[in-house]
Amino acid sequence: MTSFYNHLMWFTFLFMSFCFSLLMSFYISYMNQALYVSINMFSLWNNEMSVSFYLDYMSSWFSTIILLISSVIMVYSYFYMAPYSKSVYFLWLTNLFIFSMLMVVNMSNLFFLMLGWDGLGLVSFFLIVYYQNQSSITSGMFTLLMNRLGDSFFLLTIALFFYTYPDLTMFSSNLTDFLSLTLLLLTFMTKSAIYPFSPWLPLAMAAPTPISALVHSSTLVTAGLYLMMRFSYLLYSSYTLMQLLLILSLFTSFYAGMNSIFEKDLKKMIALSTLSHLGFIGMAFSSGLLHLAFFHMLTHALFKSLLFMTMGDIMINLNHSQDIRYLSSGMLYTPMSCMVMYVSILNLLGLPNLSGYFSKDLVLEMMNYSSSSILVMLILFMNVFFTYYYTYQLFFYSFQPIKVLPYQNFHSPMLGHTLCLFIMAISTLLFGFFFLSHICSLTLFYPVPLVNKSLPLFINLIMLLHLFLNTKLFTSNSPMLNYYFSNMMFLSNLMLTLSSNLYYNLSFMLVKSLEFGVLNYSLNSYPKMMFTHLSSYVLNLSTLNPMKSVLFMSSFMVLLSVLI
């Protein structure tokens, strides 16, 4: 009962914060204003350290989406985490993560933004290792090492920024050098899992499903992309970096979509879908579609967190099995969760007048007016094909019969949990049209040729007809091929080995050169020599006349007192 009251307290607090943030978002959007609040803490050597907050339509709406998902997660986690102990520990870690995320979104001072950034990596490690088994500990350690790499890039960036702008605020009219921008981009790429920093995201699925719905779909993985948009006035000044980001983002999306075809783990497949969309958002940002990239990031956060929560409900009734081949007859034992899952699937397919359609199709249409080559557009529509494939794979397996169905133990969800899922589903359906028509007034609508407009829908229809006529999809039965793609073409093994060897060798060299080298020599040699000289001097002094010794010691004490 104590666990229920704890979840209720945090849900009430987060829901009230969501309502306040929603009202603030409406005010900022409709008044077309931005709020900047700065609190001076101290001044040192003519440099002022201040806590500053910047609220515009981006930060306010992103905070609103985070608080909405977090408040639903509070109810969902009570239902999902009921059989487990340490509920208070889980709640405090989750809310520390939410607080760190809100710091990253709303802070404009790089020093305090670094505190929230570091808090995201540290708290996510404790959430991933919650189950304390071998898989979760390995995944948590690898995620922590990748986050430490991003933190080191961030510290170097702050040092270079401080050399140029001592106030450490993120808004300045001057442009920085290429090295600072490169380190800044690498920092954001590590958290957003852009290639080659991708393998930690599928491994992080070892965390509980409520954490996957909050951390690995809508908050942690989008923090880097959000800060790219926040620092867009600096990053857009480097054409070379934007070209590099476009290539890496496009390859990330293609890479994740191809791996998702061979994936049989439910949560890893959704993680690869998230990775594919992260690459899509990065590609839109690097092409100059800043506001459309932000719009798709918000809609993706809503329907992907909803998909994680509904999959968690279904997995509970599958005895916590994550194999997609057991995702069968879901409509029979979790009808509400399965219907809400189909809402997320329809958004992934981008059917007309849904949120996924408004955000994804606008990016695809605007890419026709960019200076991208035919090869880039071909790879982009291949990514669309992969998205349709793994989405129809979820749809296909949810209707397959299962032999163990009569032996399943059903766990009916609570009424509050069902209502929260229903509210999230309605929000996901209506958010795209509402945001595009009332909030994002900077979007321009261009006439598009009929072929370009209908191509995504045509690919969607081809996939549906193939599934309807053949009643099956391509699946690989080769263990080696499945293992190769489930490890992201051995990139997971490569990055895990490289990062582990790097940290091990670096720690070994530091211990060998510092603790056993310089410090050992300096602490053992110089103090010994100093005490030897001092003892010989005292011995020589004691052999002198006692009166001379007293006078010498008195003058030494007077001199010491004057100096002090």
Read off the pLDDT of residues 264-319 as tens digits, 9 standing for 90 and up. 778 888 888 888 888 899 998 988 888 888 888 888 888 888 888 888 777 777 77
Same domain flag for 190 and 292: no
Residue 3 belongs to some domain of the structure: yes
**Which of 171, 204, 237 corresponds to the end of one domain?**
237
The pLDDT of residue 387 is 84
Query: Can you name the residues that pair with 221 across neighbouring β-strands?
Result: none
The rounded distance, in Å, linking the Cα atoms of 118 and 99 is: 12
Indicate whether 75 and 155 sit together in one domain.
yes
Residue 7 in domain: yes
- Asked whether residue 488 is assigned to any structural domain, the reply reads no
Q: Are residues 126 and 2 in the same domain?
A: yes
Distance between CA atoms of residues 526 and 364, nearest Å: 69
Packing angle, helices 220-230 and 178-192, rounded to 10: 150
Q: Are residues 214 and 302 in the same domain?
A: no
What pLDDT score does 73 carry? 87
Among 216, 237, 258, give the residue marking a domain's end: 237
- The first and second tokens of residue 264, run together, are 């049989």
Q: Which residue numbers in the chain have pLDDT < 70? A: 1-2, 42-49, 82-85, 165-176, 327-333, 399-414, 441-446, 471-476, 482-496, 498-504, 507-508, 510-531, 533-564
Q: Quick check: is 496 in a domain?
A: no
- Asked if 249 and 206 sit in the same domain, the reply is no
Residue 107 main-chain phi, psi, to 5 deg: -80, 145
37 membership: H or E segment, kind and range: strand 35-44
Indicate whether 270 and 405 sit together in one domain: yes
- φ and ψ of 202, to 5 deg: -65, -35
- Enter the tokens of residue 159: 């040092």
Name the nearest CA neighbour of 459 among 350, 341, 369.
Answer: 350
Compute how many other C-beta atoms are within 10 angstroms of the C-beta atom of residue 172. 13
Return the closest-CA partner of residue 383 out of 465, 272, 220, 511.
272
Which domain does 2 fall in, by range?
1-237
In angstroms, the CA 382 to CA 375 distance is 10
Beta-strand pair 47-55/35-44: antiparallel
Q: Is residue 433 part of a domain?
A: yes
Alpha helices in 129-265 (DSSP H): 134-164, 178-192, 200-203, 209-214, 220-230, 232-235, 239-261
Whether residue 495 lies inside any domain: the answer is no
Cβ burial of 554 (10 Å; 0-12, 13-18, 19+) is: exposed
Total domains in the chain come to: 3
- Residue 247: exposed, middle, or buried by beta-carbon count in 10 A (0-12, 13-18, 19+)? middle
Residues facing residue 51 across a β-bridge: 39
In a domain, 109, yes or no: yes
- In DSSP terms, 107 is beta-bridged to 53
- Residue 233 and residue 251 in one domain: no
Alpha carbons 335 and 341: distance in angstroms, whole number:
10
Instruction: Tell me: do 201 and 248 sit in the same domain.
Output: no
Cα-Cα-Cα-Cα dihedral sign, residues 32, 303, 278, 186: positive
Residue 489 within any structural domain of the chain:
no
Instruction: Find where tokens 């307290």 sit.
Output: 9
3-state secondary structure of 83: coil
End-to-end CA separation in angstroms for the chain: 63
Residues 80, 102: Cα–Cα separation, whole Å: 25
pLDDT of residue 173: 47
pLDDT at res. 411 = 55
Shared-domain flag, residues 252 and 232: no
Same domain? 298 vs 426? yes
In this structure, which amino acid lies at residue 296?
H
> What is the length of the chain?
564
Task: State how far the Cα of 208 lies from the Cα of 100, in Å rounded to an integer.
Answer: 19
Q: Measured between alpha carbons, how far is 76 from 11 in angstroms, rounded to an integer?
A: 10
Q: Helices marked H in 435-515 — which ranges?
A: 450-470, 479-486, 491-510
State whether 225 and 257 are in the same domain. no
The owner of tokens 């608080």 is 67
Shared-domain flag, residues 18 and 61: yes
Last residue of a domain, one of 237, 260, 282: 237
The DSSP output letter for 414 is P
